[in-house]
Structure 1
């Protein structure tokens, strides 16, 4: 799951997987809620791969809270389709991130067909006296996301 630079200089994280029957609905296409789940998995795999110390921060009280997300469906995906997700950083502050996602179906000839687009806003927070308040992302995570910043 590498960090990649596109021809236009944009950096992104790529997450690849194959869908299963478990993710389909009665019609046979991928159930819409799975696209939301995949955004979270992509973000978590990025942290696992490039920022493993985040787990220690979470055990010490850091919470990564989803503030908002969106999913725009473009074309269908079915069971056993190969999916390539790309996660881009759209905006960043010391305690908030806005990520953009593109979901592609990998065709038999290895070409990619855009199937879905989405966004995901996340905040770093800690609990203080029973209330969640914003906090800074850990330095390792903050600097890592800077590498993905859109210029």
Structure 2
């Protein structure tokens, strides 16, 4: 292994550490301040971006999770009145899911506090550092 290869490996470990620490902070924030979970937040955010709603399969693909995982989260959100399911009029196997007005309003407040929490987590970074990291991550991409 070259020295550069070892440096890349250390970078990977550092990136994982930062990601895991930030995610742990967010999970704790959502649990303590909002009595919710990161998967619930992710589903609400995806449906917020798709205001017209989407199929359960589309939602699973957007979130990169199994249909079963998405269904379990949507079940709880529906029970709490945040989302509604609507059967497709043309295909009984297809179900559309969308935010309810209550879900939309609740998510907007949650999203604002989520942004504040992200700002706190990365608050030590200057604008220039953020731009540099953003550009580096864009350049890296994921090569398959």
Normalising by structure 1, what TM-score? 0.27
Higher gyration radius (CA) = 2
Identify the structure with the greater helix proportion: 2
Q: Which has the higher contact order (CA 8 A, sep 6+)?
A: 1
Normalising by structure 2, what TM-score? 0.28
Identify the structure with the greater strand proportion: 1
